[in-house]
Amino acid sequence: MKKSICLYFQVHQPTRLRLYRFFDIGKDSHYYDDFANRTILKRIAQKCYLPMNELLLEQIKEQKGKFKVAFSISGTALEQFDRYAPEVIDSFRALAETGCVEFLCETYYHSLAALGSEAEFEHQVLKHKTAIEHYFGVTPKAFRNTELIYSDQIGAKVRDMGFKTMLTEGARHIMGWKSPNYVYSCDFRSDLSLLLRNYGLSDDIAFRFSDSGWQGWPLTSEKFTQWASEAEGDILNLFMDYETFGEHQSEDTGIFDFMKALPKAVLGGGFQFVTPSEATRKLKPVADLSVPQPISWADEERDLSAWLGNELQQDAFNKLYGLEEKLSILADPMLWADYGHLQESDHLYYMCTKFFSDGEIHQRFNPYDTPYEAFINYMNVLSDFIIRVNNAIAEKQ
């Protein structure tokens, strides 16, 4: 059988918080920086989402359905498209109609609910599923958790929710001698297939593409196809942020030209493109994979340290999920929406203090000057939110 390539792109935009001061606590419960959110979204739509969607659509048509990709679009990104750039939704819809594009399911708020609360996790997954059905008329069958965070426990939960496929990182410390280029299963029951990111080939495109100091530079579709055919295994999972195209790697790096040439080169090199669910159908798991501690696709460590690595993040996380019990008896949709947005993993990411190794990439996406500012601002917002929750409970009683 032909070797497979599975392309999946993550689309996410956080709901950035406004500068929220102590003096605002108890007085003003609008938490978001609408201006920044709108401006950034519109910019990225112009530079990345719209041109790249168009490129993919052309390629699908040109390759007569042999070129396939998958997307996971977070609920917060969908909300922002709806509000600020509905034409992006239309262009994703056009991709959906080709039948060559799979939409994955994730937590609606791009949250760490899988680690914070089982009930909240379930709630957000269902909310996202409904949103995907609403926007694109398809029911997602494959799952990717926020930042590809995965553990045995999370895998079991996802399987129980009826998903057949889950995507995660081919983390070296988990894989050991095993190759990520095969399908694995969550455990011996083998009814949840795991697709593992090939971080080498993925990051060649996502991170190293424009690095002129890199020995692989400049990267061409022929060179990439050559590398892919040298790799052993059944399937190469290329998972990356969609913002790679036009935003992280700007247009003048030639990234669009590369992607335009890639499908033809790859198909010509004897590969086939598959979507995640297709991969599960076509390829049998070679073994099961044990992941007792959560892994992710972030940083060198491939663990949770970017979100929960320091005491600031842990305290914020604990305070946030400590509210779940109180919220469970409340039905106010405003409260629940804010609770969701406050769970976006980005807020914790901004508090990361791993300055020295991966600080650069952290800094690139960070609206705050220091993790401390991020923490103070977040806790001020959360303090106001806690007051609202307590007031709502007092009113109810």
Q: Is 147 a catalytic residue?
A: yes
Residue of 313, 287, 324, 325 lying closest to 371 (CA atoms): 313
Among 88, 196, 316, 389, binds other proteins (CB under 8 A): 316
Q: Which amino acid is at 294?
A: P
Q: Which amino acid is at 123?
A: H
First to last CA, the chain: 65
**Per CB under 8 A, 200 contacts other proteins:** no
**Per CB under 8 A, 379 contacts other proteins:** yes
Angular region, 305: left φ>0, alpha ψ -120 to 50, beta rest: alpha
**Per CB under 8 A, 228 contacts other proteins:** no
Among 87, 90, 315, 325, binds other proteins (CB under 8 A): 315
Binding mask 263-302 for other proteins (x = CB under 8 A): ----------------------------------------
Among 312, 342, 348, 389, binds other proteins (CB under 8 A): 312
CB atoms within 10 A of CB 38: 14
Name which of 78 and 316 has its Cβ closer to other proteins.
316
Helices (H), 152-302: 152-160, 172-175, 199-206, 221-230, 255-268, 276-282
Tell the smallest beta-carbon distance from residue 296 to other proteins (Å): 22
Name which of 35 and 372 has its Cβ closer to other proteins.
372
**Per CB under 8 A, 100 contacts other proteins:** no
Locate tokens 């939409």: which residue? 103
Tell the smallest beta-carbon distance from residue 155 to other proteins (Å): 30
Tell the smallest beta-carbon distance from residue 309 to other proteins (Å): 12
Whether the CB-CB separation of 193 and 229 falls below 8 Å is answered with no
**Per CB under 8 A, 314 contacts other proteins:** yes
Catalytic option among 102, 106, 147, 243: 147
- Cα–Cα dist 138/110, whole Å: 20
Torsion on CA atoms 307, 310, 311, 313, rounded to nearest 10: -20
**Per CB under 8 A, 24 contacts other proteins:** yes
Name the residues annotated as catalytic: 147
Give the footprint of other proteins on this chain (CB under 8 A).
21-27, 310-312, 314-316, 318-319, 370, 372, 375-376, 379-380, 382-384, 386-387
